[in-house]
């Protein structure tokens, strides 16, 4: 299968999953944090095991790329700062970044333990 098609199919699934999770969690910035941490965990697990190029394109690049949302995270952080909630903006940025980094690490550890 062509790489662009794999990424596209994974992207559609990731975008739909992101939307559905957002509808369930939708509380300020928590839905963005949830998808960023979950997607990072999945990507960490995926790259820790030999899965092959096609699955990496489909799930890693396509699904995780569409499921996680850096642009929304950045927008929400700026919006918090502009509304006079600088502390909350810094907290949001810190928790998203550290949460995603720890999740990648934990996903890789979990997959490596299998």
The per-residue DSSP string of 55-79 comes to HIIIIIIIIIHHHS-HHHHHHHHHH
Residue by residue, pLDDT tens for the chain (114 residues) are 799 999 999 999 999 999 999 888 877 788 899 999 999 999 999 999 988 999 999 999 999 999 998 888 999 999 999 999 999 999 999 999 999 999 999 999 999 887
Q: Is 68 annotated as a binding residue?
A: yes
pLDDT at 113: 83
Give the integer Cα–Cα distance in Å for 99 and 10. Answer: 23
Q: Is 94 annotated as a binding residue?
A: no
List the domain boundaries for the chain: 3-112
Distance of CA 49 to the CA centre of its chain: 19
pLDDT at 110: 95
């Amino acid at each position: 299968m062509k790489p662009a098609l794999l990424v596209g199919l994974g992207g559609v699934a990731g975008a739909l999953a992101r939307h559905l999770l957002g509808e369930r969690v939708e509380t300020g910035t928590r839905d963005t944090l949830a998808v960023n941490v979950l997607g990072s965990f999945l990507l960490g697990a995926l790259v820790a095991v030999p899965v092959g190029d096609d699955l990496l394109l489909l799930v890693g690049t396509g699904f995780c790329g569409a499921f996680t949302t850096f642009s929304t995270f950045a927008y929400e952080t700026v919006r918090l700062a502009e509304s006079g909630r600088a502390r909350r903006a810094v907290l949001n940025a810190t928790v998203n970044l550290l949460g995603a980094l720890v999740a990648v690490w934990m996903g890789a550890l979990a997959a490596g333990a299998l």
